[in-house]
């Protein structure tokens, strides 16, 4: 063939190969990411989405900022309104508060409350289980019935593992936690609280999962509606719990099931909420978190039991050394905004 003809042939072949490569790349990307939530994804009576995944957050942790204002600022920063607003209470604090109720009733941006209650504050799990805090339970029940008919998630004493004192009679044994949880839920139901969706929120830490008492924490499927997990990963290689989104789900004790498999095998009927999660680096040790944020969607495609994820955002945690904020660098924020924009989180609350 003449030179011009050869050139045209080469160019044609190159274009074909480029197109094939693009198609393969697109196919690979489609396999790596979960399918977008179809139009019409809605929550049911137990707040389980018919499709997609609920998106939520707690913002302003360990600061004096009002939690509602902190969440609104975070929503603007991340680019998506949270379907779940996570708040924390203890003892006799009256809740839901007026600001929390207002957030749930925001006509333009409705949210479901995820309220954690350390009911045994100033007491003990065993005392609550014996009925010594029934007046506290009854006041909460009366407040809910009088002022908040909307459905809400209720967590009793999230992350109980590191509160356990296994000494017999301590009042803080794992079995005391289970008894406290059961007593509280049964009493709330008896008082007519029918709109609470109960979440059992574990740390899922391999250290605690290896303890002989860990299995005694679970209060029973009849008083638990959702399984919950509070777990984090580090973006710093070589630092504690360095890893990706999969790693926070897959921690396990030696010769045992990882948390995700344990929850889905032992409690198959329960949807799973990652009730707190985040990617952190040490304060002042600014590190790229983009890989951690980018690892979320592929895992959601492989983990159908996960029906909600709730980010915990703070520039320093209760130990003061971990920055879990989404905007510690511009690149980190850009990656998180890309995650937040995914249509898998387009779920309508009902």
Residue-wise pLDDT tens digits, 250-287: 999 988 999 999 999 999 999 999 999 999 999 999 89
Single pTM value for the model? 0.88
Q: Are residues 3 and 48 in the same domain?
A: no
Per-residue pLDDT tens for 311-346?
A: 999 998 877 789 999 999 999 999 999 999 999 999
**Rounded distance, CA 126 to CA 245, Å?**
35
| In a domain? residue 288 | yes
Residue 186 CA, chain-centre distance (Å), reads 25
Instruction: Identify the segments of the chain with pLDDT beneath 70.
Output: 1-38
- Please say whether the beta carbons of 337 and 44 come within 8 A: no
3-state secondary structure the chain: CCHHHHHHHHHHHHHHHHHHHHHHHHHHHHHHCCCCCCCCCEECCCCCECCCCEEEEEECCCCCCCHHHHHHHHHHHHCCCCCEEEEEEECCCCCCCHHHHHHHCCCCCCCEEEEEEECCCCCCHHHHHCCCCHHHHHHHHHHHHHHCCCCEEEEECCCHHHHCCCCCCCCCCHHHHHHHHHHHHHHHHHCCCCCEEEEEEECCCHHHHCCCCHHHHCCCCCCCCEEEEEEEEECCCCCCCECCHHHHHCCCCCCCCCHHHHHHHHCCCCCEEEEEEEEEEECCCCCCCHHHHHCHHHHHHHCCCEEEEEEEECCCCCCCCEECCCCCCHHHHHHHHHHHCCHHHCCECC
Q: Are residues 15 and 93 in the same domain?
A: no
Q: Are residues 182 and 158 in the same domain?
A: yes
Closest by CA to 267, choosing from 318, 229, 315, 314, is 229
| In a domain? residue 240 | yes
Residue 192 CA, chain-centre distance (Å), reads 28
Q: Are residues 59 and 12 in the same domain?
A: no
Q: Are residues 99 and 239 in the same domain?
A: yes
Q: What pLDDT shows up at residue 202?
A: 98
Q: What pLDDT shows up at residue 33?
A: 52
Q: Are residues 95 and 64 in the same domain?
A: yes
Q: Are residues 27 and 85 in the same domain?
A: no
Q: Are residues 329 and 201 in the same domain?
A: yes
Q: What pLDDT shows up at residue 36?
A: 60
Q: What pLDDT shows up at residue 342?
A: 98
Q: Are residues 102 and 190 in the same domain?
A: yes
Q: What pLDDT shows up at residue 316?
A: 87
**Rounded distance, CA 343 to CA 204, Å?**
28
Q: Are residues 208 and 84 in the same domain?
A: yes
Q: What pLDDT shows up at residue 34?
A: 55
Q: Are residues 28 and 80 in the same domain?
A: no
| In a domain? residue 25 | yes
| In a domain? residue 226 | yes
State which residues form the domain around 295: 39-345
Q: What pLDDT shows up at residue 25?
A: 39
CATH classification at residue 83: 3.20.20.80
Q: What pLDDT shows up at residue 286?
A: 87
- Tokens 């029906």 correspond to 307
Which pairs from 74-78 meet CB under 8 Å and 24+ separation? 74/313, 74/326, 75/109, 77/326, 77/327, 77/333, 78/326, 78/336, 78/337, 78/340
Q: How many domains, the chain?
A: 2
| In a domain? residue 350 | no
Q: Are residues 248 and 129 in the same domain?
A: yes
């Amino acid at each position: 063939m003449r030179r011009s003809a050869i050139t045209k042939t080469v160019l044609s072949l190159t274009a074909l190969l480029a197109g094939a490569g693009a198609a393969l790349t697109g196919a690979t990307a489609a396999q790596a990411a979960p399918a977008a939530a179809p139009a019409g994804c809605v929550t049911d009576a137990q707040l389980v989405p018919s499709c997609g995944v609920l998106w939520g957050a707690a913002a302003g942790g360990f600061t004096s900022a009002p939690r509602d204002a902190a969440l609104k600022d975070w929503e603007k920063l991340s680019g998506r309104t949270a379907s779940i607003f996570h708040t924390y209470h203890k003892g006799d604090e009256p809740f839901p508060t007026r600001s929390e109720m207002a957030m749930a009733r925001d006509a333009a941006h409705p949210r479901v409350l995820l309220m954690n209650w350390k009911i045994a504050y100033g007491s003990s799990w065993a005392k609550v289980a014996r009925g010594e805090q029934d007046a506290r339970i009854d006041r909460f029940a009366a407040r809910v019935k009088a002022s908040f008919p909307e459905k809400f998630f209720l967590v009793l004493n999230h992350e109980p593992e590191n509160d356990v004192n296994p000494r017999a009679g301590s009042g803080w044994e794992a079995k005391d936690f289970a008894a406290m949880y059961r007593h509280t839920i049964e009493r709330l139901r008896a008082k007519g609280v029918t709109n609470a969706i109960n979440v059992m929120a574990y740390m899922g830490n391999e250290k605690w999962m290896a303890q002989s008492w860990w299995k005694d924490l679970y209060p029973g499927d009849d008083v638990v509606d959702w399984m919950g997990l509070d777990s984090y990963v580090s973006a710093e290689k070589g630092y504690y719990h360095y890893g990706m989104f999969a790693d926070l789900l897959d921690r396990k004790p030696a010769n045992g099931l990882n948390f995700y498999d344990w929850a889905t095998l032992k409690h198959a009927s329960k949807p799973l909420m990652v009730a707190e999660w985040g990617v952190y680096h040490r304060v002042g040790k600014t590190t790229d978190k983009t890989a951690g944020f980018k690892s979320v969607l592929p895992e959601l495609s492989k983990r159908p039991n996960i029906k909600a994820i709730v980010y915990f955002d703070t520039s320093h945690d209760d130990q003061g050394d971990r920055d879990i904020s989404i905007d510690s660098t511009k690149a980190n924020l850009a990656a998180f905004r890309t995650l937040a924009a995914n249509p898998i989180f387009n779920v309508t609350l009902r």
